[in-house]
Structure 1
């Protein structure tokens, strides 16, 4: 993949492509987005509970198992047999949504809870319908 080293404005400001004068650099998305390839997997977000942090339904999630969680990390976890994407309030042992419609969920001693990894990046596809890729499990 070739990457043009410019920042692109979302506004339309001219007729000639400003990228025309730049040379192309060889770079892969793997190199750009994945720091620990052996510990990284890709998931698909389901639902609207994480919209407040910019994660929308059917976004791709790049999840890194080698990254240590911090207070309020966005994580993917197995919570009572269900994979979830939430904010982790480590201090209070609470899972938070980034949408006020959803209430916080406490992690109790009887809950099955395992952090699968930290979401390091999310990717939104604006062109291809994701139902062609896979159907979101609900």
Structure 2
């Protein structure tokens, strides 16, 4: 279900359905030389159970834009955001800034807050008292399409 759509992010609430999950092979997939699948074990894996620690405070948002490509957040990636986590220096946060949502790395130094993009084509944003600013949640995971 879509909650909110802005220029940079589209928010979704996770639908948790008990007992469902994708097939999960717990044998380790080699990214080097092929290995013999001696102990091929198949289980069920729920991404909600794996990626979501606090169901009531977790949301998904789709990235729109290129400002965080250096952190591995690309256009159309799906972010997992937990609103119960405390913001801290160097965390990637979803912020509400002057009427728009944005995702940036937090920089906190000597009582000042900066929003740091991970793309040199975008400016660093210094937060001042003149800004309407809220740290909305902390990004915990990113889901990519290949």
Q: Could you tell me the TM-score, scaled by structure 1's length?
A: 0.81
Q: Once superposed, what is the RMSD of the aligned Cα atoms?
A: 1.7
Quickly say closer, same or farther: Cα 1:103–1:29, change in 2 above 3 A: same
Deviations 1:7-66 (A, max 9, x none): 33445x44xx85573211222000000000100000011111101111000100000001
Q: Which position in structure 2 is the counterpart of 1:83?
A: 101
Within-5 A mapping of 1:20-59: 21-59=39-77
Contact 1:2/1:25 (CA < 8 Å) preserved in 2?
Answer: yes
The ranges of structure 1 where at least 4 consecutive aligned residues each deviate by more than 3 angstroms after the TM superposition are 17-21
Q: Which position in structure 1 is the counterpart of 2:23?
A: 2
Unaligned runs of 5+ in 1: 127-138
Unaligned runs of 5+ in 2: 1-21
- Greater strand fraction, Structure 1 or Structure 2: 2
| 1:103 has 2:133 as partner | no
- Greater helix fraction, Structure 1 or Structure 2: 1
Q: CA deviation at 1:3?
A: 1.2
Quickly say closer, same or farther: Cα 1:83–1:19, change in 2 above 3 A: farther
Report the number of matched residues: 123
